[in-house]
Structure 1
Amino acid sequence: MPEKSSRGHSGAKKSGQKYQNTFAFTHNKGSKTTKKILALPVDGLCKRCTDQIQWRKQYRKYKPLTTPKKCVWCQLKNIKKAYHVICDDCAAKKGVCAKCLSMEELVEGNNPKTPQEILKEEQELERKLASMRERQRRSYLRKLSRGDIEPDQVPDVAASDDDFEYTDSEDEENETDGSEDDEELHNDN
């Protein structure tokens, strides 16, 4: 049997993709959907599949699942991540990629933090919150509860967010300016 080639029936070589992504796609800044998609972890996959998922996220081609999918091996509706064909439990038991089922080395997604690192970050957050002004602290906690910012995005306390800074010298100048005007009025009369 002759080997299959990338040439079609006519023997002509296929050309590459017509439209290539030559520059990075820019996401909508205020899109909640984009924020959710970018926050989803990419784990339990081989290097090739991880790169594919990252590309989909970068160019806004990633479509998250709306309902859980059925696992090919255990036949349970356990798949909650898009583009996976087996659930995380089956993938961990068999040691395969959850997308392409290859037995290649799996790429660790978001490296899980040790309890000591988590405790250290919490202490750092408490220290920064204690050094903030009341208004800054309440604003930060409000944004955190709404989901506008991530917990690790603690603003610097050194950066002052005061729009107007009044000093005593400016107040004194205003008081003396007003008193001089009053004296001139009295002198004119």
Structure 2
Amino acid sequence: MSGGRSRSQKHQNRVPFVAKRDIKRNEGDRERELGLRNLALQNVCKRCQQKIVWRFQMGKYKAKKPGTRGRCNKCEQKSVRMAYRSLCDACGKAHDLCPGCQHPPSEANASRDVPEACASSGSDSDAESEPASDGEES
């Protein structure tokens, strides 16, 4: 059957998704998760930070097991401690690259900010034209 559904969704979402809503967690668990979140967000570009924050919000973040390390793509040593990274911190700093996406932080942010600017330029064109007209009058 090639036709699309003609009726609406049967069950609508009444409340937003909250990760680990039904799990009873003590204060120590929350503190460990906050510490892990802070460590995961260090030394990465904005785009990689957004990805990691999304993974924490949706309960998708899977930390590396204690004692396991990944192999760095630059120095080829097993020195990557954090999940979702492909460079060790030393190589990231030495080569000025994001350990998550292996791009320079300025390029990683700029290349992904261009579509957002283009998408928002259509809606902000009226707001941008008003200050320009104010500037011409002054």
Specify the TM-score bucket, using the shorter chain as the normaliser: 0.5 to 0.7
Q: 1:38 is matched with which residue: 34, 38, 42?
A: 34
| Partner secondary structure for residue 78 of structure 1 | strand
User: One-letter code of the match for 1:23?
Assistant: P
What is the correspondence of 1:53-92 to structure 2 with a 5 Å cutoff?
53-66=52-65, 67-92=68-93
Structure 1 residues 107-150: Cα deviation after superposition (integer angstroms, max 9, x where no partner): 9xxxxxxxxxxxxxxxxxxxxxxxxxxxxxxxxxxxxxxxxxxx
Higher relative contact order (CA closer than 8 Å, sequence separation 6+): 2
The answer to whether structure 1 residue 25 and structure 2 residue 18 are counterparts is: yes
* Compared CA separation, residues 64 and 33, structure 1 to 2 (3 A): farther
Query: TM-score of the superposition, structure 2-length normalised?
Result: 0.54
**Aligned alpha-carbon RMSD (Å):** 2.6
What percent of counterpart residues are identical? 30
Residues of 2 paired with 1:38 and 1:25: CA distance?
16
By percentage of residues, which structure has more helix? Answer: 2
User: Which of structures 1 and 2 has the bigger CA Rg?
Assistant: 1
Q: Which runs of 4+ in 1 moved over 4 A?
A: 31-35
| Partner secondary structure for residue 25 of structure 1 | coil
Q: Is the 8 A contact 1:73 1:90 kept in 2?
A: yes
Q: Offset of 1:33 from its aligned partner?
A: 5.7
* Compared CA separation, residues 58 and 38, structure 1 to 2 (3 A): farther
The farther-off stretch of 32-41 and 94-103 is 32-41
User: One-letter code of the match for 1:25?
Assistant: V
Residues of 2 paired with 1:48 and 1:92: CA distance?
18
Residues of 1 paired with 2:104 and 2:60: CA distance?
26
Matching residue of 2:8: none
Structure 1 residues 66-114: Cα deviation after superposition (integer angstroms, max 9, x where no partner): 111111111111111000000000000111110111112389xxxxxxx
Query: TM-score of the superposition, structure 1-length normalised?
Result: 0.41
Q: Offset of 1:35 from its aligned partner?
A: 4.5
Number of residue pairs matched by the alignment = 87
Residues of 2 paired with 1:104 and 1:72: CA distance?
17
Q: Offset of 1:60 from its aligned partner?
A: 1.1
Note the residue ranges of structure 2 that are not aligned, 5 or more in a row: 1-12, 110-138
Matching residue of 2:48: 49
